[in-house]
Amino acid sequence: MTRNQLEDLRTPLDTNAISMHRISTNDAHASPTRGDDSELDSTQVDLRETLARPTRTYQVMLLLAGSMMIFHIIGINQVFGIFQEFYTSPSSNIKDAQGKDALVSLVGSIGTGLTWSGSIFMNPLIARVENIKLVTFFGALVMSLGLVLASFATRIWHLYLTQAILYGLGSSMYYFPLMSLAPMYFDRHRGFAMGFILAGSGIGGLVMALVLQFLLDHYGIQWALRILGVWNLAVAIPVSLVVKHRPGYGFGSRNQRGSDRARTSISSALLKRGTFWYQSVGAFLQAAGNVVPLYYMSSYTVSVLSLSRSDGSLFVSINSGVNSLSRIAMGILADYIGRQNTLIGGTLLSAISVLALWYNAPEARFIAFVVMYGVYAGGYNALLPTTIAEIYGVENYTGVNAVLYFIRGLGSIFGAPIAGVILGSHSRVVTSTDSTELGFVKKRYNDVVIYDGMLLLAATVCVGYVRWLDARDKGTWRWKA
């Protein structure tokens, strides 16, 4: 971040404006009338907003806090495939999990799904709770508690209670306060600020994959979970101290009280639009398909390619790193060819990469898949929020965004477990000389690949149809949209 960018992030304080506000406020108090009450309230709100303009120091602290929060939550979500590969292996500490990919993947799916689905409950809560620091810290505490308690698990249902439900609910409470309030602190270069925060997601997956494998190799699963839990809580303390409502925009402000309903709900007219329903279906299908490679990349490396767990973790790390860079590149490309066009292209190419590169893949082609899927899958996650504002208008952004993330959370819950059912139970360790068993496992993984590819192709059809419906509703077709 350059010095000029930092200077731009700060909105200068106009002392003359403050003086004028003070004069007008004093005059209003000197001889108020019943008809002047609303003007007085408006003047006081304007004064509070002017005085509360954020400092550059606070904005930098918010950027760092947001990126670290994203680093942990998204990073841990993205590397659950490494947990799954261990839990279903012969060395697992979970007695009833060996070879049961469907049941184990449901643990990660519930955790990730609750992270996103919590948006529909967190948005109204954020608008109504004054001390948002406590909500953020309590969420991080519950999230960390879920990880630490999971270290004592010996059965799959123990993981459902800890690494799934507790972790998911806590991560949602930890994630949404900062992500909902951060844009309000950047009147200029808001896109740069949010891009900086979200860049922590891919970096988190890249680093967490290597860190988790190191902890598993040197300390075992129990201490790996405990270390991650304590580390997450240690980082969450300074993060939660930074989060707060911006006066005039957050809890208790006149604007906030008057707009709660518009911010947290969807109008009946919007619910009748075909664009909303097809985008909802597309969001569900894309989320369901998107998690399958993340959860089964590591196990494919061990079971089919007969490589080590460290190699599987490395592939997850590479995919996450490429995905992080892709989000930036897709955003730049969208400025030239249109956001919806880029969204359609990225979803289609991610489906093609699954079917063309992962199906019956030897090592070289699988590595190509790891990279190319990272490139194309990043586009949907990066561009969905911008297309929401473009299609439904800024005034409907918060409500639509909350509902679509709730739906994406449901998609995340169902996608990987169904893939696990298709894969079935099998020995995690398959040698290349055991041709019968290896052929059986390859066929099952090929079935998973077809399932995943069909999900992503169906999502492509939905987002493409949304593009057509949006042009029809607006009465004009533009090639760049």
Sequence ranges of the domains in the chain = 3-50, 55-264, 267-481
- Tell me: pLDDT of 22 over 60: no
Closest C-alpha to 63, from 228, 174, 186 = 186
End-to-end, the C-alpha distance of the chain in Å comes to 30
Residue-wise pLDDT tens digits, 192-222:
677 678 777 778 888 998 999 999 999 999 9
Are the CB atoms for 122 and 115 separated by under 8 Å? Answer: no
Mean pLDDT of the 152-163 span = 95
pLDDT at 452: 96
- Tell me: pLDDT of 255 over 60: no
Share above pLDDT 70 across residues of the chain, in percent, rounded to a whole number: 81
Q: Is the pTM of this model over 0.75?
A: yes
Name the residue with higher pLDDT: 365 or 120: 365
Q: Which of 10-14, 259-263, 288-292, 388-392 has the highest mean pLDDT?
A: 288-292
Mean pLDDT of the 155-182 span = 92
Q: Which two tokens mark 2?
A: 């350059």
Q: Which of 4-18, 39-53, 210-224, 289-303 has the lowest mean pLDDT?
A: 4-18
Residue-wise pLDDT tens digits, 273-326:
888 999 999 999 999 999 999 889 988 998 899 898 889 989 999 998 888 888
Angle at the Cα of 76 from the Cα atoms of 70 and 81, rounded to 5 degrees: 140
- Tell me: pLDDT of 116 over 80: yes
Closest C-alpha to 134, from 251, 271, 1, 243 = 243
pLDDT at 402: 84
pLDDT at 388: 83
pLDDT at 13: 40
* Contacts of residue 220, Cβ cutoff 8 Å, sequence gap at least 6: none
- Tell me: pLDDT of 166 over 70: yes
Q: Which of 30-34, 288-292, 379-383, 432-436 has the lowest mean pLDDT?
A: 30-34
Name the residue with higher pLDDT: 267 or 122: 122
Mean pLDDT of the 68-97 span = 89
* Residue that has been written with the tokens 């989000």 in this structure: 327
* Contacts of residue 457, Cβ cutoff 8 Å, sequence gap at least 6: 348, 351
Are the CB atoms for 112 and 412 separated by under 8 Å? Answer: yes
Return d(Cα 73, Cα 209) in angstroms, integer: 13
Long-range contacts of 394-397 (CB under 8 A, 24+ apart): 395/262, 396/266, 396/267, 396/270
DSSP letter (8 states) at residue 360:
T
Continuous segment of H or E residues that includes residue 370: helix 363-392
Class at the top of the CATH hierarchy for domain 267-481 = mainly alpha
Return d(Cα 105, Cα 102) in angstroms, integer: 5
Angle at the Cα of 156 from the Cα atoms of 154 and 162, rounded to 5 degrees: 85
CA atoms within 13 A on the CB side of 278: 16
Mean pLDDT of the 243-269 span = 58
DSSP string across 226-295: HHHHHHHHHHHHHHHHH--PPTTTSTT-HHHHHHHHHHH---HHHHT-HHHHHHHHHHHHHHHHHHHHHH
- Tell me: pLDDT of 93 over 50: yes
- Tell me: pLDDT of 403 over 80: yes
pLDDT at 29: 44
Closest C-alpha to 291, from 67, 103, 113, 83 = 113
Average pLDDT of every residue of the chain: 81
* Contacts of residue 62, Cβ cutoff 8 Å, sequence gap at least 6: 54, 178, 182, 185, 242
For residue 188, name the pLDDT band (cuts at 50, 70, 90): low
For residue 56, name the pLDDT band (cuts at 50, 70, 90): confident
Mean pLDDT of the 237-260 span = 64
Mean pLDDT of the 142-158 span = 95
Closest C-alpha to 54, from 249, 215, 227 = 249
- Tell me: pLDDT of 52 over 70: no
- Tell me: pLDDT of 184 over 80: no
pLDDT at 366: 95
For residue 148, name the pLDDT band (cuts at 50, 70, 90): very high
Return d(Cα 392, Cα 102) in angstroms, integer: 37
Return d(Cα 317, Cα 208) in angstroms, integer: 8
Return d(Cα 220, Cα 217) in angstroms, integer: 6
pLDDT at 338: 86
Q: Does the domain made of 55-264 have the CATH classification 1.10.10.10?
A: no
- Tell me: pLDDT of 256 over 60: no
Residue-wise pLDDT tens digits, 324-381:
888 778 878 888 888 889 999 999 999 999 999 999 999 999 999 999 999 898 778 7
Closest C-alpha to 147, from 73, 90, 68, 200 = 73
Q: Do domains 55-264 and 267-481 have the same CATH topology?
A: yes
Name the residue with higher pLDDT: 283 or 183: 283
Closest C-alpha to 384, from 269, 286, 261 = 286
Q: Which of 21-30, 127-136, 229-238 has the highest mean pLDDT?
A: 229-238
Residue 256 CA: distances (Å) to CA of 53, 55, 219, 299: 17, 22, 49, 48
